[in-house]
Amino acid sequence: MRGVLIVANWKMNILKEKARTFCQDFMPLVENIYKTDIVICPPFTSLHVLKAELAGSKIRIGAQNLFWAENGAYTGEISAQMLVDAGCNYVIIGHSERRQVMGENDEIINRKLQRALSCGLIPILCVGETLQQRQASMAKQVVKDQLSNCLQGFKLGERELVIAYEPVWAIGTGVNASSEDAQDMIGFIRDNLSEIIDGKTAAATRILYGGSVKGNNIEELMGKDDIDGALVGGASLQPVAFAEIVRLGQNGK
Ligand code: PGA
């Protein structure tokens, strides 16, 4: 019932011209993929390139961040409405790099989520524990707290939310969580959504795994009941590698 969703997170990589050739090379590679939703999240500076190149395709565009205010004196920030204006349907919120490097906390993330939803964007909320927290057997408590704080006061109604479970120790390290551990945590996230929002939302919400997803591990991850897709960083920078993940991800379901 929940369709597969594969999201590319280019992070702070790829200039305009490379973004253009990526789209031109990537589109034919996924022409025959019908059952999977594909989203690419480039840096802000290439959103317009993707909007032009992907027009008429089923590939959707996402941003990697937004600011929680509607508009005003916030030098350097980008609003939800600006993202809609630039052609975005999705936005990544609360990525661990933003939590760790930019000091974002759950309260800021909560505000950003509310703003994204109110403008019709589909937020991809990232949660996940550090290695230290996992080793101290705190992983579930950390993720539970992130969810309940970030989603505090939420009423989704008909609007869609995506969650990405990204253990911090698996991001960019080449060491992915085992499919069993990813399923265990993602099932736990679904149970929590049921408590925090409601059972219907929990059953309908797509929950992705992220952290060193590659062509050689996507099928096994996607074989698990609660894993609905992937948030892909490093391996999404090459059209062939990303297309392979999309294709194998669909096979896995
Ligand atoms: P990675 O990044 O695939 O390079 O580990 C994933 C992410 O940070 O979203």
**What's the whole-number mean pLDDT along residues 122-130?**
98
Q: How far apart are CA 43 and CA 13, in angstroms?
A: 7
Residues in the ligand 1 pocket, defined by CB under 6 Å: 9, 166, 171-172, 210-213, 231-235
CA dist 7 and 39 (Å) reads 5
Contact 110, 148 (CB under 8 A): no
More confident residue, 253 or 206: 206
What are the tokens at 235?
């391996």
What rounded mean pLDDT belongs to the chain? 97
Per-residue pLDDT, 28: 98
Out of 95, 97, 104, 129, which one is annotated catalytic? 95
Pocket residue to mutate for ligand 1, from 7, 64, 124, 213, most atoms within 8 A of Cβ: 213
Q: What does residue 163 show for φ and ψ, rounded to 5 degrees?
A: -115, 140
Ligand 1 centroid–CA 102 distance in Å is 17
pLDDT at 246: 98
Burial class (CB in 10 A: 0-12, 13-18, 19+), 42: buried
Determine the average pLDDT of the residues in 126-133.
97
- So what's the pLDDT on residue 228? 98
Least confident of 46-50, 98-102, 112-116, 152-156: 152-156
| pLDDT for residue 33 is more than 90 | yes
Residue-level pLDDT at 252: 76
Q: Is the pLDDT of residue 248 over 80?
A: yes
Q: How confident is the model at residue 31 (pLDDT cuts 50, 70, 90)?
A: very high
Q: What confidence score (pLDDT) does residue 208 get?
A: 98
- The two three-digit tokens of residue 61, written as one number: 């565009």
DSSP code, position 170: G
pLDDT value at residue 253? 79
